[in-house]
Amino acid sequence: MNLKKLFLILLFATASIRAKANIRLPDIIGSNMVLQQKHKVKLWGWADPYEKITIKGSWNREVYEAMGTRDAKWEIELQTPAAGGPYTISLQGKNSLLLENVLIGEVWLCAGQSNMEMSGNWGLPDIQNELPQAYQRELRFFHIAKTTAAFPQEQVQGQWVVCDSNTLKTFSAAAYFFGKKLHQQLGAPVGLIEAAWGGTAAEVWTPDSVVNNDPVLKKAATLIQPSGMCPYMPGSAYNGMIAPITSYAIAGVIWYQGENNTDAAVTYRPLFTALIGAWRRAWGQQLPFYYVQVAPFRYKKINAGALLREAQWQCSSIPHTGMVATNDITGNVDDVHPRNKHDVGLRLANWALADHYGQAGIAYKSPEYKSMQVKGAKAVIKISGAEAGLIIKGDSLAEMQIAGADKVFYPAEATIQGDRIVVWNTEVKKPMAVRYCFTDTAIGNVSNSAGLPLLPFRTDRWAFPGF
């Protein structure tokens, strides 16, 4: 063996030994990241068994120590200060790592299907208008690559980046407008983690054990229509895209999904309730969940959209949740992807600012049905969230229907009396039920004084064929 060949062998062997000894981090932990402020945040990764690791954050002089386990893993909790930065985090073991341009602020997970995934590359004019001033040093993105797995994983593929005219083009538009508003109002850095996949049903984002151990949810999961563009097995996206980041501290979740659950709309309430509960258990905290009601759309299965929206509204009774209405900003009922993501993001942000951050003076709740009282041949509908009165956009109130005991609905005439709507039709002598925007394609025209749309509702619980 000549000396040159021996040298190469020793060089490769040394490199191999060093590679095995290196401290390693998951992609979610890296330069440009945002850590949740005033929180015990967890850092974790891999190292040699019993390798000693020291960690320092430049925001203070405290030195933290961790040690690799027999399984070659390590983790540690660091106390973060109030919002600020940029900072560095140094890690020293058998090798050294330096994480740079780290900010401390507010971190939100932005998840769902294609309406959350829609970005500037979809030709959204609101994003095109943002590009000239897109650079925002304290707004950071982490886009999780689409991944599925049969079991919970420990790693996702992605990279923290600063918001600019290039990174904004490929990031969720709804999430961007949400994060931009939070940053402006809170004066703190904001980190947004996008986990979205067009065409996915909520089951794939829910741990499979949760779905499979519930007979109702398990049966509903069989109705998911497989496609060549997205997964359909329960838990598959959760395992690949959510489970790996559940140790990363976040402030809360915004959610934009539901269109692919319309075939089993009546089971969406228990399903989404189970999803929220599972995610909260995974993070070990009562995460706020703010979500978007599906927009008017001409679904193949009639009444599927109306019932799905009702199920979403019912989920708003879960503590620390809030729903954004979209029945006034859809524009095209033949497009399942409303292009106005600007107002969606702002409405989500207002929910977070008022409900989670406690900022006063923000209009964030849509008015909603409270009660019905029959007076002769008229029904009087009491609306909550409209203390300053209701407003009709246009000449007359649209999409209101009334029925008697025969369950035949007629277009209703209506007048507004403060926070009440008086409804009637001469064909209905004794009203039994009133519905507002309770069809798949109904676009509403009633709002409160703040301009937030009245949520779709029905006062009856009559069955729909096929559901």
User: Is 267 in the same domain as 413?
Assistant: no
- Tell me: pLDDT of 13 over 70: no
pLDDT band at 21 (very low <50, low <70, confident <90, very high): low
Pair 123, 86 in one domain: no
One domain, residues 110 and 42? no
Same domain, 298 and 194: yes
Residues 45 and 23 placed together within one structural domain of the fold: yes
Residues 309, 420, single domain; the answer is no
For the segment 291-349, what is each residue's pLDDT rounded down to a tens digit?
999 999 999 999 999 999 999 999 999 999 999 999 998 879 999 999 999 999 999 99
Name residue, tokens 């409209």: 386
Give residue-wise pLDDT tens across range 31-54.
999 999 999 999 999 999 999 999
User: Does 209 lie in the same domain as 157?
Assistant: yes
Residue 459 has pLDDT above 50, yes or no: yes
- To 5 degrees, how large is the angle CA 179–CA 185–CA 190? 35
Q: Which helix (H) or strand (E) holds 43?
A: strand 40-46
Give DSSP secondary structure letters for 104-172: EEEEEEEEESHHHH-BGGGT-HHHHHHGGG--EEEEEEEEPPP---SS--S-----EEEESTTTGGGSB
Considering the domain boundaries, does residue 363 fall inside one?
no
Residue after which a domain boundary falls, among 79, 102, 125: 102
User: How far is the C-alpha of 136 from the C-alpha of 303, rounded, in Å?
Assistant: 43
Q: pTM here?
A: 0.94
Hey, how many other C-beta atoms are within 10 angstroms of the C-beta on 112? 27
pLDDT digits (tens, 9 = 90+) for 96-109: 999 999 999 999 99
For residue 4, is it within any domain?
no
CATH number at residue 71: 2.60.40.10
Tell me the C-alpha distance between 400 and 412, whole Å.
Answer: 5
The tally of domains found in the chain comes to: 3
pLDDT, position 387: 92
Q: Which of 356, 389, 406 is the last residue of a domain?
A: 356
Q: Read off the pLDDT of residues 384-438 as tens digits, 9 standing for 90 and up.
A: 999 999 999 988 999 999 999 999 999 999 999 999 999 999 999 999 999 999 9
Domain that holds residue 68: 14-102
pLDDT for 225: 76
| Two tokens, residue 192 | 């947004």
Distance CA 174, CA 90 (A): 34
